Structure 1
Amino acid sequence: MTDTTAATTEAESTTKPQPRLKQKYKNEIKTALTEQFGYGNVNQVPGLVKVVVNTGVGEAARDSKIMDGAIKDLTAITGQKPQVTMARKSIAQFKLREGQAIGAHVTLRGDRAWEFLDRLLSLALPRIRDFRGLSDRQFDGNGNYTFGLTEQSVFHEIDQDRIDRVRGFDITVVTTAKTDDEGRALLKQLGFPFRSGEQTV
Protein backbone atom coordinates (compact mmCIF):
# COMPACT_ATOMS: atom_id res chain seq x y z
CA MET A 1 0.00 0.00 0.00
CA THR A 2 1.40 3.40 -0.96
CA ASP A 3 1.57 6.35 1.43
CA THR A 4 -1.09 8.13 -0.64
CA THR A 5 -3.44 5.17 -0.47
CA ALA A 6 -2.89 4.79 3.26
CA ALA A 7 -3.58 8.47 3.82
CA THR A 8 -6.75 8.30 1.76
CA THR A 9 -7.96 5.22 3.63
CA GLU A 10 -7.24 6.84 6.98
CA ALA A 11 -9.06 10.01 5.96
CA GLU A 12 -12.09 8.03 4.82
CA SER A 13 -12.21 6.15 8.11
CA THR A 14 -12.40 9.40 10.09
CA THR A 15 -15.21 10.90 8.02
CA LYS A 16 -18.89 10.17 8.56
CA PRO A 17 -20.08 6.73 7.38
CA GLN A 18 -21.42 6.37 3.88
CA PRO A 19 -25.20 6.30 3.40
CA ARG A 20 -26.70 2.84 3.85
CA LEU A 21 -28.12 2.65 0.32
CA LYS A 22 -24.81 3.77 -1.19
CA GLN A 23 -23.01 1.01 0.68
CA LYS A 24 -25.51 -1.53 -0.60
CA TYR A 25 -24.94 -0.27 -4.14
CA LYS A 26 -21.17 -0.63 -3.86
CA ASN A 27 -21.16 -3.96 -2.02
CA GLU A 28 -24.06 -5.81 -3.65
CA ILE A 29 -25.88 -4.05 -6.46
CA LYS A 30 -22.92 -3.37 -8.75
CA THR A 31 -22.05 -7.07 -8.70
CA ALA A 32 -25.67 -8.10 -9.33
CA LEU A 33 -26.00 -5.71 -12.30
CA THR A 34 -22.68 -6.87 -13.74
CA GLU A 35 -23.91 -10.46 -13.67
CA GLN A 36 -27.31 -9.51 -15.11
CA PHE A 37 -26.01 -7.48 -18.06
CA GLY A 38 -22.55 -9.02 -18.51
CA TYR A 39 -20.59 -5.79 -18.18
CA GLY A 40 -16.91 -6.17 -19.00
CA ASN A 41 -15.90 -2.95 -17.27
CA VAL A 42 -16.94 -1.68 -13.85
CA ASN A 43 -17.47 1.77 -15.36
CA GLN A 44 -20.31 0.36 -17.47
CA VAL A 45 -22.41 -0.44 -14.40
CA PRO A 46 -25.20 2.17 -14.13
CA GLY A 47 -25.16 4.40 -11.08
CA LEU A 48 -26.94 7.35 -9.49
CA VAL A 49 -26.18 10.86 -10.77
CA LYS A 50 -28.72 13.05 -8.99
CA VAL A 51 -32.27 13.31 -7.69
CA VAL A 52 -34.45 16.31 -8.59
CA VAL A 53 -37.49 17.11 -6.44
CA ASN A 54 -39.88 19.61 -8.03
CA THR A 55 -43.20 21.22 -7.15
CA GLY A 56 -45.35 23.53 -9.24
CA VAL A 57 -47.10 26.51 -7.67
CA GLY A 58 -49.50 28.00 -10.18
CA GLU A 59 -51.15 30.36 -7.70
CA ALA A 60 -47.90 31.79 -6.34
CA ALA A 61 -48.27 35.07 -8.23
CA ARG A 62 -51.54 35.80 -6.43
CA ASP A 63 -50.40 34.64 -3.01
CA SER A 64 -46.73 34.70 -2.05
CA LYS A 65 -47.49 32.58 1.03
CA ILE A 66 -48.10 29.62 -1.29
CA MET A 67 -44.57 29.87 -2.65
CA ASP A 68 -43.21 30.31 0.88
CA GLY A 69 -45.02 27.12 1.92
CA ALA A 70 -43.62 25.18 -1.04
CA ILE A 71 -40.08 26.31 -0.25
CA LYS A 72 -40.52 25.43 3.41
CA ASP A 73 -41.82 21.93 2.57
CA LEU A 74 -39.06 21.25 0.04
CA THR A 75 -36.41 22.39 2.49
CA ALA A 76 -37.79 20.12 5.22
CA ILE A 77 -38.07 17.11 2.90
CA THR A 78 -34.66 17.42 1.21
CA GLY A 79 -32.53 19.27 3.75
CA GLN A 80 -31.44 21.69 1.05
CA LYS A 81 -32.57 25.18 0.04
CA PRO A 82 -34.73 25.07 -3.13
CA GLN A 83 -34.29 27.09 -6.29
CA VAL A 84 -37.34 29.06 -7.42
CA THR A 85 -38.55 28.20 -10.94
CA MET A 86 -39.51 31.19 -13.09
CA ALA A 87 -41.77 31.31 -16.16
CA ARG A 88 -39.68 31.64 -19.32
CA LYS A 89 -42.39 33.38 -21.30
CA SER A 90 -45.78 35.02 -20.83
CA ILE A 91 -48.96 33.03 -21.53
CA ALA A 92 -52.05 35.23 -21.43
CA GLN A 93 -54.67 32.49 -21.11
CA PHE A 94 -52.97 31.23 -17.94
CA LYS A 95 -52.37 34.77 -16.64
CA LEU A 96 -48.69 33.91 -16.66
CA ARG A 97 -45.99 36.55 -16.99
CA GLU A 98 -42.37 36.04 -17.98
CA GLY A 99 -40.21 35.90 -14.86
CA GLN A 100 -43.12 34.96 -12.62
CA ALA A 101 -42.47 32.36 -9.91
CA ILE A 102 -44.24 29.13 -10.87
CA GLY A 103 -42.56 26.53 -8.67
CA ALA A 104 -39.47 25.39 -6.83
CA HIS A 105 -37.02 22.53 -7.14
CA VAL A 106 -34.06 20.96 -5.38
CA THR A 107 -31.23 19.02 -7.01
CA LEU A 108 -29.60 16.47 -4.71
CA ARG A 109 -26.21 14.96 -5.51
CA GLY A 110 -23.74 12.71 -3.74
CA ASP A 111 -24.58 11.46 -0.26
CA ARG A 112 -27.64 13.73 -0.01
CA ALA A 113 -29.19 11.99 -3.01
CA TRP A 114 -28.51 8.55 -1.53
CA GLU A 115 -29.90 9.55 1.88
CA PHE A 116 -33.03 11.05 0.33
CA LEU A 117 -33.73 7.89 -1.69
CA ASP A 118 -33.26 5.76 1.41
CA ARG A 119 -35.80 7.84 3.36
CA LEU A 120 -38.15 7.88 0.39
CA LEU A 121 -38.10 4.10 -0.07
CA SER A 122 -38.03 2.99 3.56
CA LEU A 123 -40.19 5.66 5.23
CA ALA A 124 -42.24 7.78 2.81
CA LEU A 125 -43.64 5.34 0.24
CA PRO A 126 -44.85 2.84 2.88
CA ARG A 127 -46.95 5.65 4.40
CA ILE A 128 -49.00 6.11 1.23
CA ARG A 129 -52.53 4.85 1.83
CA ASP A 130 -53.49 1.86 -0.35
CA PHE A 131 -50.09 1.98 -2.05
CA ARG A 132 -49.84 -0.62 -4.82
CA GLY A 133 -46.38 0.16 -6.11
CA LEU A 134 -44.87 2.50 -8.69
CA SER A 135 -45.38 2.27 -12.44
CA ASP A 136 -42.26 1.03 -14.22
CA ARG A 137 -43.27 2.72 -17.48
CA GLN A 138 -42.25 6.27 -16.59
CA PHE A 139 -38.67 6.09 -17.84
CA ASP A 140 -37.50 8.62 -20.44
CA GLY A 141 -35.74 6.27 -22.86
CA ASN A 142 -32.33 6.96 -21.32
CA GLY A 143 -32.64 5.17 -17.99
CA ASN A 144 -33.97 8.14 -15.99
CA TYR A 145 -37.17 7.80 -13.98
CA THR A 146 -39.82 10.35 -12.95
CA PHE A 147 -42.83 9.78 -10.71
CA GLY A 148 -45.21 11.91 -8.69
CA LEU A 149 -46.39 12.01 -5.10
CA THR A 150 -49.75 13.64 -4.46
CA GLU A 151 -49.07 15.06 -1.01
CA GLN A 152 -46.19 16.03 1.24
CA SER A 153 -47.61 14.36 4.33
CA VAL A 154 -45.97 11.03 3.44
CA PHE A 155 -42.61 12.51 4.46
CA HIS A 156 -41.99 12.24 8.19
CA GLU A 157 -40.09 15.55 8.13
CA ILE A 158 -43.40 17.37 7.53
CA ASP A 159 -45.35 18.41 10.63
CA GLN A 160 -48.89 17.18 9.91
CA ASP A 161 -50.42 19.92 12.07
CA ARG A 162 -48.67 22.73 10.19
CA ILE A 163 -49.51 21.86 6.58
CA ASP A 164 -50.87 25.00 4.91
CA ARG A 165 -52.23 23.11 1.89
CA VAL A 166 -51.87 19.72 0.19
CA ARG A 167 -48.89 19.91 -2.15
CA GLY A 168 -47.65 17.34 -4.66
CA PHE A 169 -44.13 16.69 -5.91
CA ASP A 170 -42.43 15.24 -8.96
CA ILE A 171 -39.26 13.27 -8.29
CA THR A 172 -36.75 12.51 -11.06
CA VAL A 173 -33.95 9.99 -10.54
CA VAL A 174 -31.14 10.59 -13.03
CA THR A 175 -28.79 7.65 -13.65
CA THR A 176 -25.86 6.76 -15.90
CA ALA A 177 -27.87 3.92 -17.44
CA LYS A 178 -27.89 3.82 -21.24
CA THR A 179 -31.29 2.14 -21.56
CA ASP A 180 -34.55 1.97 -19.64
CA ASP A 181 -33.97 -1.73 -18.94
CA GLU A 182 -30.69 -0.89 -17.20
CA GLY A 183 -32.25 2.00 -15.30
CA ARG A 184 -35.19 -0.15 -14.23
CA ALA A 185 -32.86 -2.91 -13.04
CA LEU A 186 -30.78 -0.42 -11.04
CA LEU A 187 -33.79 1.13 -9.32
CA LYS A 188 -35.35 -2.25 -8.63
CA GLN A 189 -32.12 -3.36 -6.95
CA LEU A 190 -32.16 -0.16 -4.89
CA GLY A 191 -35.62 -1.10 -3.63
CA PHE A 192 -38.05 0.79 -5.87
CA PRO A 193 -41.37 -1.08 -5.53
CA PHE A 194 -42.44 -1.36 -9.16
CA ARG A 195 -45.82 -2.92 -9.86
CA SER A 196 -44.86 -4.57 -13.13
CA GLY A 197 -42.54 -7.55 -12.96
CA GLU A 198 -42.63 -7.87 -9.18
CA GLN A 199 -42.02 -11.40 -8.02
CA THR A 200 -44.20 -12.91 -5.34
CA VAL A 201 -42.60 -15.10 -2.73
Structure 2
Amino acid sequence: MQPSAGQDLPHTRTRPVHWIATAAALAAIVGGSALLQPAGAVATSKAGASAPSRTAEPLPRGGPDPEKADYPVDCGPEKVQVVRHGSGDLDGDGRAETVAVVRCKAGFGTPPNGIYVLAHPSSGKGAPRIVETFLDPKEGMNVSAFAVRGRTVSATLLGYSSEDVPRCCPDQQRRVEWRWRKGKFRLSALPVAESV
Protein backbone atom coordinates (compact mmCIF):
# COMPACT_ATOMS: atom_id res chain seq x y z
CA MET A 1 0.00 0.00 0.00
CA GLN A 2 1.37 3.37 -0.94
CA PRO A 3 0.97 6.37 1.31
CA SER A 4 -1.29 9.11 0.07
CA ALA A 5 0.07 12.57 -0.58
CA GLY A 6 1.04 14.41 2.59
CA GLN A 7 1.83 11.26 4.58
CA ASP A 8 5.40 10.65 5.76
CA LEU A 9 7.19 7.37 5.41
CA PRO A 10 8.77 6.22 8.71
CA HIS A 11 12.33 6.48 7.34
CA THR A 12 11.83 10.03 6.01
CA ARG A 13 10.77 11.64 9.28
CA THR A 14 13.46 13.93 10.71
CA ARG A 15 14.33 13.77 14.35
CA PRO A 16 16.64 16.03 16.43
CA VAL A 17 19.37 13.38 16.29
CA HIS A 18 19.41 13.68 12.46
CA TRP A 19 19.97 17.45 12.66
CA ILE A 20 22.77 17.04 15.21
CA ALA A 21 24.51 14.43 13.05
CA THR A 22 24.16 16.64 9.96
CA ALA A 23 25.56 19.68 11.80
CA ALA A 24 28.51 17.66 13.11
CA ALA A 25 29.30 16.32 9.64
CA LEU A 26 29.18 19.83 8.13
CA ALA A 27 31.41 21.21 10.88
CA ALA A 28 33.96 18.45 10.24
CA ILE A 29 33.98 19.17 6.50
CA VAL A 30 34.31 22.95 6.94
CA GLY A 31 37.00 22.55 9.62
CA GLY A 32 38.92 20.02 7.54
CA SER A 33 38.86 22.24 4.46
CA ALA A 34 40.20 25.16 6.48
CA LEU A 35 43.10 23.05 7.70
CA LEU A 36 43.91 21.60 4.29
CA GLN A 37 44.25 24.87 2.35
CA PRO A 38 47.44 25.34 0.34
CA ALA A 39 50.20 27.35 2.01
CA GLY A 40 49.69 30.37 -0.29
CA ALA A 41 45.89 30.51 0.06
CA VAL A 42 44.33 33.92 0.63
CA ALA A 43 41.01 34.91 2.13
CA THR A 44 38.73 37.28 0.23
CA SER A 45 36.19 39.68 1.66
CA LYS A 46 32.78 40.46 0.11
CA ALA A 47 34.32 43.44 -1.64
CA GLY A 48 36.78 41.08 -3.34
CA ALA A 49 39.89 42.37 -1.57
CA SER A 50 42.33 39.63 -0.72
CA ALA A 51 44.28 39.33 2.52
CA PRO A 52 47.20 37.00 3.21
CA SER A 53 46.34 33.94 5.26
CA ARG A 54 47.45 34.03 8.88
CA THR A 55 50.00 31.39 9.55
CA ALA A 56 52.18 30.83 12.58
CA GLU A 57 55.54 32.57 12.66
CA PRO A 58 58.24 30.24 11.36
CA LEU A 59 60.65 29.07 14.03
CA PRO A 60 64.08 30.70 13.85
CA ARG A 61 66.59 28.40 12.17
CA GLY A 62 69.60 28.90 14.39
CA GLY A 63 70.29 30.06 17.89
CA PRO A 64 70.34 33.74 18.82
CA ASP A 65 73.35 35.84 17.82
CA PRO A 66 75.55 36.02 20.95
CA GLU A 67 77.07 39.32 19.80
CA LYS A 68 73.66 41.04 20.14
CA ALA A 69 72.96 40.07 23.76
CA ASP A 70 73.27 42.44 26.72
CA TYR A 71 75.28 40.50 29.32
CA PRO A 72 75.12 41.35 33.04
CA VAL A 73 78.89 41.78 33.22
CA ASP A 74 80.51 44.99 34.48
CA CYS A 75 83.60 45.62 32.37
CA GLY A 76 83.99 49.31 33.20
CA PRO A 77 85.16 51.15 30.08
CA GLU A 78 85.91 47.88 28.26
CA LYS A 79 83.44 45.83 26.23
CA VAL A 80 82.14 42.32 26.82
CA GLN A 81 83.81 39.87 24.47
CA VAL A 82 82.21 36.61 23.28
CA VAL A 83 85.09 34.13 23.26
CA ARG A 84 83.15 30.92 22.43
CA HIS A 85 79.60 29.92 21.67
CA GLY A 86 77.49 27.02 20.46
CA SER A 87 73.82 26.46 19.62
CA GLY A 88 71.29 23.66 19.97
CA ASP A 89 67.71 22.98 21.03
CA LEU A 90 68.65 22.41 24.65
CA ASP A 91 65.13 22.22 26.11
CA GLY A 92 63.41 20.41 23.23
CA ASP A 93 60.91 23.18 22.43
CA GLY A 94 61.81 23.30 18.73
CA ARG A 95 63.83 26.52 19.02
CA ALA A 96 67.60 26.60 19.24
CA GLU A 97 69.27 28.34 22.16
CA THR A 98 72.82 29.72 22.15
CA VAL A 99 75.28 29.21 24.97
CA ALA A 100 77.91 31.95 25.10
CA VAL A 101 81.19 32.12 26.98
CA VAL A 102 82.05 35.77 27.59
CA ARG A 103 84.61 37.89 29.41
CA CYS A 104 85.69 41.49 29.61
CA LYS A 105 87.91 42.43 26.71
CA ALA A 106 91.42 42.93 28.02
CA GLY A 107 94.74 43.72 26.39
CA PHE A 108 96.54 41.41 28.79
CA GLY A 109 95.74 39.12 31.70
CA THR A 110 93.07 36.47 32.03
CA PRO A 111 89.74 38.00 33.02
CA PRO A 112 87.21 35.52 34.42
CA ASN A 113 84.55 34.03 32.14
CA GLY A 114 80.79 33.89 32.32
CA ILE A 115 78.57 31.30 30.62
CA TYR A 116 75.06 32.35 29.61
CA VAL A 117 72.16 30.62 27.83
CA LEU A 118 70.42 32.86 25.30
CA ALA A 119 66.94 32.49 23.81
CA HIS A 120 65.32 34.39 20.97
CA PRO A 121 63.38 37.50 22.04
CA SER A 122 59.76 36.81 22.97
CA SER A 123 58.41 39.26 20.39
CA GLY A 124 60.70 37.98 17.63
CA LYS A 125 62.54 41.31 17.54
CA GLY A 126 65.22 42.83 19.72
CA ALA A 127 68.18 41.48 21.65
CA PRO A 128 68.39 37.82 22.70
CA ARG A 129 67.16 37.06 26.22
CA ILE A 130 69.43 35.59 28.88
CA VAL A 131 67.43 32.68 30.30
CA GLU A 132 70.09 30.98 32.42
CA THR A 133 73.50 31.74 33.94
CA PHE A 134 75.74 28.69 34.09
CA LEU A 135 78.81 30.54 35.36
CA ASP A 136 78.97 34.04 36.81
CA PRO A 137 82.27 35.91 36.23
CA LYS A 138 82.20 36.81 39.93
CA GLU A 139 83.16 33.19 40.63
CA GLY A 140 86.60 34.01 39.15
CA MET A 141 86.88 30.97 36.86
CA ASN A 142 87.97 30.50 33.28
CA VAL A 143 86.53 28.11 30.71
CA SER A 144 88.28 25.72 28.36
CA ALA A 145 87.17 22.71 26.25
CA PHE A 146 83.69 24.19 25.73
CA ALA A 147 81.13 22.35 23.54
CA VAL A 148 77.39 22.14 22.82
CA ARG A 149 76.29 18.70 21.60
CA GLY A 150 72.62 17.89 21.29
CA ARG A 151 71.06 18.90 24.62
CA THR A 152 74.33 18.81 26.55
CA VAL A 153 76.69 21.69 27.27
CA SER A 154 80.13 20.68 28.51
CA ALA A 155 83.10 22.69 29.67
CA THR A 156 86.26 22.46 31.69
CA LEU A 157 86.30 25.07 34.45
CA LEU A 158 89.69 26.37 35.56
CA GLY A 159 90.08 27.84 39.02
CA TYR A 160 92.49 28.76 41.77
CA SER A 161 93.16 27.00 45.05
CA SER A 162 93.94 30.26 46.87
CA GLU A 163 94.36 34.00 46.42
CA ASP A 164 98.14 33.46 46.29
CA VAL A 165 97.97 31.65 42.95
CA PRO A 166 98.67 34.10 40.07
CA ARG A 167 95.53 34.84 38.02
CA CYS A 168 97.39 33.86 34.86
CA CYS A 169 97.93 30.30 35.97
CA PRO A 170 94.93 28.38 37.34
CA ASP A 171 95.94 25.35 39.39
CA GLN A 172 92.59 23.53 39.52
CA GLN A 173 90.23 22.19 36.89
CA ARG A 174 86.87 20.44 36.80
CA ARG A 175 84.94 19.05 33.84
CA VAL A 176 81.20 19.75 34.06
CA GLU A 177 78.04 19.25 32.00
CA TRP A 178 74.66 20.95 31.98
CA ARG A 179 71.61 19.07 30.70
CA TRP A 180 67.93 19.96 30.50
CA ARG A 181 65.96 17.61 32.77
CA LYS A 182 62.47 17.94 34.21
CA GLY A 183 62.04 21.58 33.24
CA LYS A 184 65.42 22.98 34.24
CA PHE A 185 69.14 22.76 33.57
CA ARG A 186 70.98 20.31 35.81
CA LEU A 187 74.71 20.59 36.51
CA SER A 188 76.76 17.45 36.90
CA ALA A 189 80.48 17.27 37.62
CA LEU A 190 82.51 14.67 35.83
CA PRO A 191 85.22 12.70 37.65
CA VAL A 192 87.81 14.89 39.35
CA ALA A 193 90.85 15.60 37.23
CA GLU A 194 94.39 16.00 38.49
CA SER A 195 95.50 19.54 39.33
CA VAL A 196 97.32 21.26 36.51
Which structure has greater strand proportion? Answer: 2
Q: Do they superpose with TM above 0.5?
A: no
User: How high is the TM-score relative to the length of structure 2?
Assistant: 0.20
Say which one has the larger Rg.
2
Q: Which has the higher helix share?
A: 1
**Larger RCO of the pair (alpha carbons < 8 Å, separation 6+):** 1
| Superposition TM-score, scaled by structure 1 size | 0.20
